[in-house]
Structure 1
Amino acid sequence: MPQLALYTFGVLKAPLADPSPLTREFYAAGEAVYGTIGRHPGYLARAEPAEGDRGVLFGADWGPWGQFAVPAWYDKGRTADTTALAATLSLWTGLRPAYDAVYTGLHRGALNRRHDWFERTGHPGHVLWWIPEGTVPTWQDGVSRLESLHDRCPAPDAFAFHRAFTPEGTATRAGDQAG
Structure 2
Amino acid sequence: MATRLYLAQANIATGIAPLDHPSMKSFVDKITFINEAAENAPGFVWRFQTEEGDATGVRIYGDSRIIFNMSVWVSIDDLKWYTYNSDHLSVFKRRKEWFSKMSRPHSVLWWIHPSTRPTVEDALEKLAALEKDGPRPDAFTFSKLFDASGKALR
TM over 0.5: yes
One-letter code aligned to 1:96: D
Q: What aligned pairs does 1:12-161 form with structure 2 within 5 A after superposition?
A: 12-18=15-21, 20=22, 22-52=23-53, 55-58=56-59, 70=60, 74=61, 76=63, 83-161=64-142
Distance (Å, rounded) in 2 between the aligned partners of 1:33 and 1:118: 16
Is the contact made by 2:6 and 2:72 (CA closer than 8 Å) also made in structure 1? yes
One-letter code aligned to 1:128: L
Gaps of 5+ in 2: none
Aligned length: 151
Q: What's the CA shift for 1:13?
A: 0.9
Q: 1:60-95: CA deviations, max 9, x gaps? A: xxxxxxxxxx3xxx452xxxxxx2122111111111
| Change beyond 3 A, Cα 1:163–1:26 | same
TM-score by length of 1: 0.78
| Change beyond 3 A, Cα 1:145–1:11 | same
Q: What's the CA shift for 1:30?
A: 2.2
3-state SS of paired residue (1:165): coil
Distance (Å, rounded) in 2 between the aligned partners of 1:118 and 1:86: 10
Quote the RMSD (CA, aligned, Å).
1.8
Is the contact made by 2:135 and 2:141 (CA closer than 8 Å) also made in structure 1? yes
Higher relative contact order (CA 8 A, sep 6+): 1
3-state SS of paired residue (2:68): strand
Residue 7 of structure 1 pairs with residue 10 of structure 2 = yes
| Change beyond 3 A, Cα 1:159–1:85 | same
| Change beyond 3 A, Cα 1:138–1:120 | same
Q: What's the CA shift for 1:53?
A: 7.5
Distance (Å, rounded) in 2 between the aligned partners of 1:57 and 1:9: 11
Distance (Å, rounded) in 1 between the aligned partners of 2:136 and 2:27: 32
One-letter code aligned to 1:130: W
- Would you identify which runs of 4 or more consecutive aligned residues in structure 1 move more than 6 Å? none
Gaps of 5+ in 1: 59-69, 77-82, 174-179
